[in-house]
Chains A and B, each alone.
Chain A
């Protein structure tokens, strides 16, 4: 099975900060990587798919990039509504696997 190693597990940041979250795949997943945001009591919401394609309706401060088997979600200027938990998901090979999650907290 493909392992997705996500880091950091949590981070504290201020409004306006630039933050980056990384997922590393244990093997090649091409660009079959999605990023999801989850707030308490809600279903996950897709932000990015195919590693770097912004989901319709998602603010442009969110972006995704890839370098080999390493994938990064960047929030260019953190907003109050961005404090949440973020997960990556590889959907290249069954079984699909999520990263362990990154909780973004207010500093």
Chain B
């Protein structure tokens, strides 16, 4: 069974940094693209960032480009999101998602909450 467990969410002040982690199990982590998707309270989901199986193809939403960095560690079967220069508008539930064979997010975690507020 595929499992994705996000962690690292917290209440932080604007301008500070946070690192999210996604621990995975139940599949061959090396073989699949992975994504971070967020959802602000009462809003629809917003794709944040994603990378392919070997990190050769990486993308970011315009709203986070230059501030967030996605990475993966095959040895730990984990996905990460380094978030710098956080803004109030980054407040959201952050989901980790595993791509299917054709990349689109097939499996999702339950999310970790990031709140940016002074």
Q: Which residues of A pack against B, CB within 8 Å?
A: 1, 32, 34, 36, 38, 43-46, 49-50, 55, 85, 87, 89, 91, 94-101
Select B102's contact among A1, A43, A44, A50, beta carbons within 8 Å. A50
Given contacts A85-B44, A94-B60, A98-B46, list 13 more A-B pairs with CB under 8 A: A36-B45, A38-B45, A43-B109, A44-B45, A44-B108, A46-B100, A49-B100, A87-B45, A89-B104, A91-B104, A95-B60, A95-B61, A98-B45
Residue-wise interface mask of B (38-75) relative to A, using a CB-CB cutoff of 8 A (1 in contact, 0 not): 00000011110010000000011110000000000000
Given A46-B104, A46-B105, A101 and B44 contact (CB-CB distance below 8 Å): yes
- Which residues does B use to contact A, with CB under 8 Å? 35, 44-47, 50, 59-62, 95, 100, 102-106, 108-111
Instruction: Decide if B95 touches A43 in the complex (CB within 8 Å).
Output: yes
Query: What residues on A are CB-neighbors of B44 within 8 Å?
Result: 85, 87, 98-101
B46 touches A43 (CB 8 A): no
| Complex contacts, A91 vs chain B, CB 8 Å | 103-104
Q: How distant is the Cα of A38 from the Cα of B42 in the complex, in angstroms?
A: 12
